Chain A
Amino acid sequence: MANERVLKFPMSEKMFHNINMVTWMILAVTGMMIYFKTVDATTASLLMDFHIGIAIVFTLNFIGFAVINADRFFLMLRNLLIWDADTFAWFKNFGGYPRRLLGIPFGPEEVAPQGRFNAGQKFTYLFFIFMIFGLIVTGWLLYFMAPVLGKTTMVYFFNFHVWGSIIATAMAVGAHLPLALINIEDFKAMFRFGAGDVPLEDAMHHAPKWVENDLVKVSTLEQPLKAHH
């Protein structure tokens, strides 16, 4: 078992995640530099052109993943939308993280068994997907349709675009990234070149219901793995 590994992130998900991450951060930095006026007007105008160019990649990456990898996208949504009793039970002790990381004896010691995503991840990733979609929609409306939609609507969309992205970026940098670093096997699986696999032991610890219900043994060392279609 020590050497047994589980494919957690297929290439399509790694590509979507990593392109999304890089473009998101560029968009966040350029957007905040423009909004908080840290640069002069000429540079801000140039940065806005850059912001729009990167936004095209950001948008196509999301649409490409949702359309070309519709099966993985739907599976991801399915995993995020399973809110069973164990999911709610996770909130009794926040997965034991306050106890383990901060020494706060919050809730029961035992953590409710989770699926592919734990309850915190489900909540956060649903928010991230909502924000990706919302930022794409409001961003392109601000760019193309400002005169058609009118000033009141545009100010409302603009505030959603600015503050929504700042809140989501704060969550990504302040919670998502540190927790990924704590679960270092997930981090390595996501960012190493090649297969996004994690040790089976790790998967059983974090996602016992996923291992039990959703996984199948593939004899990759004996015979070629058939790509799922």
Chain B
Amino acid sequence: MEAKKENYFYAEKPVGQLLSRRDFLKAAGVSVSAIAISGYVVTDIVQKRKSYIALRQQGLYKDDKRLQKANLTGSHQNASCLKVYQDMGTKPMGEVAEQLLHTKTYVDRSNLLMQGAHHG
């Protein structure tokens, strides 16, 4: 490729002449480190999070099995809960239960939303 006539007399030497082997290794080392470290950090976070999810899943299945054995697969089967309803003289979804347990206060929790994330 022929360059047009330019109005300068000096330019940098060709890169091959300026960049020694040591320079190349230094620059390549920094570039590769930046990519490798950020890649490692991200995959490490994803893997850890995946392992937490798997552990939580295992725990839930374990709980399910234990409760199935005790015939307690739903809250309406829980003897303690049923006793509370009996003591109050009401039943699940009953009028007293609704008065006591259902809140009518709206709490604005928009401050807990993660700002900036775009969820489309």
Contact = CB atoms under 8 A, between A and B. Distances in A.
Partners in one complex: yes
Interface in B32-76: 34, 38, 42, 45-46, 49
A75 B19 contact: yes
Across chains A and B, which 3 residue pairs bring their CB atoms closest together, nearest first?
A: A77-B27, A197-B8, A5-B8
A227 B19 CA distance: 17
Contact of B38 (A137, A162, A214): A137
Contact of B46 (A77, A148, A224): A148
B11 A6 contact: yes
Interface of A: 4-7, 34-35, 48, 52, 66, 71-75, 77-78, 81, 130, 133, 137, 141-143, 145-146, 148-151, 153-155, 158, 161-162, 194-195, 197, 200, 203, 211, 214-221, 224-229
Contact of A220 (B8, B30, B34, B116): B8
Contact of A77 (B5, B10, B30, B118): B30
A149 B42 contact: yes
B13 interface: yes
- In which size bucket is the chain B interface? 35 or more
B18 A75 contact: yes
A207 B31 CA distance: 26
Contacts of A195: 6-8
B1 interface: yes
A81 B116 contact: no
B100 interface: no
Given A142-B117, A158-B115, A216 B10 contact: yes
B49 A197 contact: no
Given A158-B117, A195-B7, A197-B8, 14 more contacts: A5-B9, A6-B8, A71-B16, A74-B23, A75-B18, A197-B6, A214-B12, A216-B10, A218-B8, A220-B3, A220-B9, A225-B11, A227-B1, A228-B15
22 contacts: A5-B10, A6-B10, A7-B10, A7-B11, A66-B31, A73-B27, A74-B28, A75-B19, A77-B27, A81-B30, A130-B34, A137-B42, A141-B42, A145-B46, A215-B10, A216-B11, A218-B8, A220-B8, A221-B9, A224-B3, A225-B11, A226-B2
B14 interface: yes
B114 interface: yes
A74 B10 contact: no
By CB atoms of chain B within 10 A, which of A52, A66, A221 has the most?
A: A221
By CB atoms of chain B within 10 A, which of A145, A151, A220 has the most?
A: A220
Nearest to A81: B26
Nearest to A34: B116
B115 A200 contact: no
B2 A74 contact: no
Contacts of B8: 5-7, 195, 197, 218, 220
Contacts of A52: 118
B26 to A, nearest CB: 5
B101 to A, nearest CB: 29
B115 A35 contact: yes
Given A74-B19, A77-B31, A78-B23, A197 B2 contact: no
Contacts of A75: 12, 15, 18-19
